[in-house]
Structure 1
């Protein structure tokens, strides 16, 4: 006797229904508030059912987590499923109904139809959820940093044009850059050229000492001569200085948040079994590695390589009917946008570094030489990269599983 529990989660409540094979309804859809009392009542009820019980819930942001935690702690089989899989479930009806009870019934039918393939939620998924949440925040602050940087450069173009191109020092561990620190002290060209070369040299040397930068003797004269040729649109007024200082502080704050999250993501990802394998792949570093692991999740849930490329939305579409077969199709783009973004960034790394011995770069270069458009060869390269990723990580997890078995079983 199978009891399929369909749970449609929302922000403060979930709608639950229980059905058995042949469409036998054990419990009509009912609402459960996300409070400890009502969730405990739900657990007690599900444990009282005769036969095997499996619950399925959609991964809807963070709304499903209270229910998942309560059922998992109680030892009840719970599977968190991608909503797109539920959406593809057959309705067997010409009517299009969108309501919480209807969604709960649809999820329950999905549980029955895919009973043997349901994957139980595990504590390892908790780590992956944390990593995915961190990646979401990382993306949020990265967007803030891009906007803050563009805004700051726009302001400085009116007081000290091109100041962001005066230095090529790499960013520090806290995300700050030398040109930003320099612009905070010398925010207007008159801060340089009006005080004379000698005074500027002394102030620049003090600036380098304060911020722990190497002082180059020829640099002050170079900066001074360049400042003399620049045209400032805004006058050297207090209000403009305030705006620029606030913009620099905002940029530095966003950069600091990003570096903290980058470090935390890398540390958290290192606890997962596939970390070393992922980090060994060319083009993957301490930023892209945790992002890939966060967005892809556990590769064991993908039955084949085409499944993971479809999840990322970099698989070519299919358009066939009768004798007609379209040769060139657009990518589906149905999967994770954050994953596609990370994949395109990795493809950019390949194109910039040109590792001629890497199969992904060889594939990219061949497609580009054939005259394929940018999006076509980038998407094709991302597809090939994901297939290699899937093969290596799948093999890694299999080897770890074999190593954990007793000698007679392995």
Structure 2
């Protein structure tokens, strides 16, 4: 039986091979993440039965995924270790040092010591993989969208302060169109009120807004009253144009991604059940499923809560037992973020019918807990219910 430790890097990895007796069969060597590099590895282990070979690697964001996929295609056992767990394991050594070669050997030794305890990395269903990939892309575009909104807000504050207060909420698309045409308040001041109102009413009508005349009057008055710091009109127009273009592009991307995620999620048996849960809508349902994945991989609801990183591990020593504990945050940051959004949606919707999660949050608020703690407590209960309902779907 041999343990193969792989220290994964970008486009290359360092590999070490030892047997369960601790004997080094192959000193650490590098392989490229290519067909040639993998053929080098296959040649070294081709004489060993596949059921006697175990690969151990750390989860390294995205760099390990390609290699993991190739190893599983060949039918090998692969254990993907939690980096924090491996770090704690390495910390047991008195004399410390870090190189790729040493890390590969340490992973190999970890494999021999934990040989019978290692769990094989499950080959997740392709739908879950696709959903998770799209969810991460959605989060990236969402981050870019937020930054662009801040940038646009700063531009408005300099060239047309107060415009956002008039064109807010469902007037967002109208705001982008208008500000792209009139990036400076001076451009409105140069026009007569009648001429401006006529043009604005036509612009508003294209977006389906009927109060164009009232809004035009407010904007025209604002243009004459606001104090601005305006650059050259051409400079302002260039900045606004590109900011608005990028905003429209990111919005279109997020809409397309969510649409595709919903189409994929509909193939899963838990989709309708998750959508019916309060606080979860068309946008949050596929994201939530994507971040949790196949719920059957968790042995119970506590495991799912731990995966989200909102568990509070016990702390006890001698006669002391800690009661004021914090959540671990040693889990999926993306799931915590998505779950927190669900709690915010649930809190703002204020469901009239009985809802266990909402009532639980109200109870915590009545106890004097702060808003963030209330939402985390609600998410804890929500995930327990999620686990129970989805498992019921798979068991029936």
**Smaller-chain TM-score bracket:** 0.7 to 0.9
Is 1:265–2:266 an aligned residue pair?
Answer: no
> Which residue of the partner structure matches residue 52 of structure 1?
52
Matches within 5 A, 1:33-44: 33-44=32-43
**Of the candidates 242, 249, 252, which is equivalent to residue 246 of structure 1?**
242
Distance 1:151 1:342 in 2: 24
> Which residue of the partner structure matches residue 123 of structure 2?
122
TM-score of the superposition, structure 1-length normalised? 0.84
**Of the candidates 315, 338, 345, which is equivalent to residue 341 of structure 2?**
345
> Which residue of the partner structure matches residue 368 of structure 1?
365
Assess if the C-alpha contact under 8 Å between 2:132 and 2:290 holds in 1: yes
**Compared CA separation, residues 162 and 339, structure 1 to 2 (3 A):** same
**Of the candidates 283, 290, 300, which is equivalent to residue 279 of structure 2?**
283
**Of the candidates 380, 384, 387, which is equivalent to residue 387 of structure 1?**
384
> Which residue of the partner structure matches residue 74 of structure 1?
74
Distance 1:111 1:241 in 2: 61
Residue 36 of structure 1, CA deviation = 0.5
Distance 2:296 2:155 in 1: 50
Residue 118 of structure 1, CA deviation = 1.5
Distance 1:103 1:285 in 2: 45
Distance 1:225 1:310 in 2: 55
Distance 1:352 1:14 in 2: 48
> Which residue of the partner structure matches residue 32 of structure 1?
31
Distance 1:55 1:283 in 2: 41
Residue 371 of structure 1, CA deviation = 0.9
Assess if the C-alpha contact under 8 Å between 2:14 and 2:29 holds in 1: yes
**Compared CA separation, residues 8 and 352, structure 1 to 2 (3 A):** same
> Which residue of the partner structure matches residue 302 of structure 1?
298
Assess if the C-alpha contact under 8 Å between 1:135 and 1:294 holds in 2: yes
Q: Structure 1, residues 259-314: CA drift from partner, whole Å, max 9, x if none? A: 23322333334444543333332212233223323333333332232222222221
Residue 49 of structure 1, CA deviation = 0.4
Assess if the C-alpha contact under 8 Å between 1:360 and 1:384 holds in 2: yes
**Compared CA separation, residues 283 and 100, structure 1 to 2 (3 A):** same
> Which residue of the partner structure matches residue 151 of structure 1?
151
**Compared CA separation, residues 296 and 254, structure 1 to 2 (3 A):** same
Assess if the C-alpha contact under 8 Å between 2:174 and 2:204 holds in 1: no
Query: Structure 1: any 5+ residue segments left out of the alignment?
Result: 400-410
Matched positions, count: 392
Distance 1:243 1:257 in 2: 21
Assess if the C-alpha contact under 8 Å between 2:163 and 2:219 holds in 1: no
**Compared CA separation, residues 98 and 151, structure 1 to 2 (3 A):** same
> Which residue of the partner structure matches residue 408 of structure 1?
none
SS at match of 1:48: coil
Matches within 5 A, 1:348-359: 348-355=344-351, 357-359=354-356
**Of the candidates 184, 191, 195, which is equivalent to residue 195 of structure 1?**
191
Assess if the C-alpha contact under 8 Å between 2:197 and 2:213 holds in 1: no
Q: Structure 1, residues 333-368: CA drift from partner, whole Å, max 9, x if none? A: 122222222222211112211225221111111111
SS at match of 1:8: strand
Residue 143 of structure 1, CA deviation = 1.8
Assess if the C-alpha contact under 8 Å between 2:295 and 2:387 holds in 1: yes
Distance 2:100 2:360 in 1: 47
> Which residue of the partner structure matches residue 326 of structure 2?
330
Residue 127 of structure 1, CA deviation = 4.3
Distance 1:22 1:193 in 2: 84
Distance 2:228 2:308 in 1: 47
User: Which deviates more, 20-29 or 251-260?
Assistant: 20-29
> Which residue of the partner structure matches residue 166 of structure 1?
166
Assess if the C-alpha contact under 8 Å between 1:265 and 1:290 holds in 2: yes
> Which residue of the partner structure matches residue 202 of structure 2?
206
Distance 2:386 2:56 in 1: 28
Residue 324 of structure 1, CA deviation = 0.6
- Over the aligned positions, Cα root-mean-square deviation in angstroms equals 2.9
Assess if the C-alpha contact under 8 Å between 1:72 and 1:121 holds in 2: no
Is 1:182–2:178 an aligned residue pair?
Answer: yes
> Which residue of the partner structure matches residue 14 of structure 2?
15
